[in-house]
Chain A
């Protein structure tokens, strides 16, 4: 961690030019969001005209429209149900596995971790197209269940790696002491490790949730109209009519604002997860 007392070394602060440039970069990163917010608060007739209208009386009509004339609420509900369920299942499966992998010395552990790394990097279609075929023949195509399970499996290698790195940082002496006190293995896991690893587990949960909620490719292949998620909804609204386009913008904003807020609030966990060096599905 940064120690404020040692600051004086390299002059902190960026100087005027650096500050201007960094502000510019931040604005550019935000520009797509700002522009979309402008587009969806305009009346539909001027939302997408060239040149753009910059003075207008803001309206939230398109949000009402989105709610009433599309099935957006269904897509939104699907997104959250699938993300929550797949996160919970991923953790229930992943926590014991990651703990075991961090404690068991044999070659089996190394082999499993390597395989997890390989599976994490596979091109999605190699997994998802067969899943499509199987889910159709089992009659579970276009259900939240199949999408959630697919995402659990696809994100499981990442979940295990991230958690395993967190577990590996906890000294084994703790396990041994608990064993001497008569704790069984599963008790060590549930009573000592899980509470101790609270922030780590939260970090993993946040990432798995994000991956599930961001996923487009898997959702577009495994779902249709019943279990589709918001990214699928946004994509299908494109290239249609202008009102539909504005609805897509409204959907994007409704999805983005809470997530932006979350990025600020949960920043610590996101940075911790990213820094632990094993991130990305």
Chain B
């Protein structure tokens, strides 16, 4: 392909991305060094916003909450997703039905799914999960006003919405494991658990890593789910980083747009660091091709 043809073909797409992604990103970086409000030019304040971010206890709490949620949910997603994928992989005729059911929570908008999820737990509305729980344990849990129950409910919802994705990617990985490898394992007398742990898991670790990476990046950006599930997130200390940025930089007129922008920039740095190994792999593959 000639250079001129290449630029002609990628030109429109790149122009849109420059205009609508690069320019806004540039503004965010600029605002992060400013005391600024929507619609008016900002005033340069150097690193003040960053200094404020690092000393703000509310940001600290949001960071700890988000990181904790990310670690726990990613671990559950990988474990449960793998088991579920292995189970689906053994299905015959029922497979499309099970896959169809599993896809449902993936295709429902997050905020809508979380709304439906919230009704299962709401003690005022006779939520069925809440009833079952208090019947089983004899305890009345306040899912919306106690910090830890609320955290558990949010985590369960994020798992509910992301499990299909993890399962389907892992399933694709399982289908790629060569049959002769499995046959050899069986001949050597490896049981099912041994086969999974010592043979299949290591041979699809690339896929597992990919699922882990995407999950981590998605949960770090969690926002939609908290809107219906944690109306009192700020008081409970269950504010995610994204929700915190939204609250200070948009809601109520966005009085802290500068600080919010600085927090966005810090998040980008974290994401870039985590993406680095993945980006390196892409370059290596592209060089070889």
A254 to B115 Cα, complex, angstroms: 14
Q: B261–A118 contact, CB under 8 A?
A: no
A271 to B85 Cα, complex, angstroms: 13
- Count B-side interface residues using an 8 Å CB cutoff: 108
Known interface pairs A150-B20, A230-B112, A235-B227. Does A280 touch B90 (Cβ–Cβ under 8 Å)? no
Contacts of A13 in B (CB 8 A): 90-92
A113 interface residue per 8 A CB criterion: yes
Q: B116–A9 contact, CB under 8 A?
A: no
Contact of B87 (CB < 8 Å), options: A14, A53, A152, A235: A14
A168 to B11 Cα, complex, angstroms: 19
Q: B275–A117 contact, CB under 8 A?
A: yes
Contact of A234 (CB < 8 Å), options: B104, B112, B126: B112
Looking at chain A's contact residues, is the secondary structure mostly helix, strand, loop, or mixed?
Answer: helix
Contacts of B214 in A (CB 8 A): 280
B172 interface residue per 8 A CB criterion: yes
Q: B27–A130 contact, CB under 8 A?
A: yes
Q: B28–A130 contact, CB under 8 A?
A: yes
Contact of A18 (CB < 8 Å), options: B87, B111, B231, B250: B87
Q: How far is the CB of B95 from chain A (nearest CB, A)?
A: 9
Partner-contacting stretch, out of A56-64, A194-202, A260-268: A260-268
Q: B10–A112 contact, CB under 8 A?
A: yes
A36 to B228 Cα, complex, angstroms: 14
Contacts of A264 in B (CB 8 A): 96, 100, 103
Q: B24–A126 contact, CB under 8 A?
A: yes
With contacts defined as CB atoms under 8 Å apart, how many contacts are there between chain A and chain B in the complex?
318
Q: B245–A125 contact, CB under 8 A?
A: yes
Q: B90–A122 contact, CB under 8 A?
A: no
Contacts of B24 in A (CB 8 A): 126-131, 134
Q: B165–A123 contact, CB under 8 A?
A: no
B123 interface residue per 8 A CB criterion: yes
Contacts of B19 in A (CB 8 A): 153
Q: B165–A114 contact, CB under 8 A?
A: no
Give the residue name and chain of the B residue nearest to A10 (CB). B182
Interface string of A231-250 (1 = CB under 8 A from B): 10011001100000100110
Q: How far is the CB of B212 from chain A (nearest CB, A)?
A: 13
Give the residue name and chain of the B residue nearest to A237 (CB). B115
Q: A110–B283 contact, CB under 8 A?
A: yes
Q: A48–B38 contact, CB under 8 A?
A: no
B152 interface residue per 8 A CB criterion: no
Contact of B163 (CB < 8 Å), options: A29, A126, A136, A262: A29
Q: A36–B90 contact, CB under 8 A?
A: no
Contact of A252 (CB < 8 Å), options: B17, B115, B160: B115
B223 interface residue per 8 A CB criterion: yes
Q: B99–A10 contact, CB under 8 A?
A: no
B124 interface residue per 8 A CB criterion: yes
Q: B260–A48 contact, CB under 8 A?
A: no
Q: B113–A185 contact, CB under 8 A?
A: no
Give the residue name and chain of the B residue nearest to A265 (CB). B100
A121 to B23 Cα, complex, angstroms: 16
Q: Name B's A-contacting residues (CB within 8 A).
A: 1-3, 5-6, 9-10, 12-14, 16-17, 19-21, 23-25, 27-28, 31, 38-39, 84, 87-88, 90-92, 96, 98-113, 115-117, 119-120, 122-129, 131, 160, 163-165, 168-169, 171-172, 175, 179, 182-183, 186, 192, 207, 210, 214, 217-218, 221, 223-224, 227-228, 231, 242, 245-246, 249-250, 254, 257, 260-261, 264-265, 267-268, 271-272, 275, 278-279, 282-283, 286-287, 289
Q: Top 5 closest A-B pairs, CB basis?
A: A153-B20, A52-B126, A100-B9, A97-B13, A130-B24
Q: Name A's B-contacting residues (CB within 8 A).
A: 2, 6, 9-14, 18, 21-22, 25-26, 29-33, 35-36, 39, 48-53, 93-94, 96-97, 99-101, 103-104, 106, 108-110, 112-114, 116-119, 121-134, 136-137, 149-150, 152-154, 156-157, 160, 168, 185, 189, 210, 213-217, 221, 230-231, 234-235, 238-239, 245, 248-249, 252, 255-256, 259-260, 262-264, 267, 270-271, 274-275, 277, 279-280
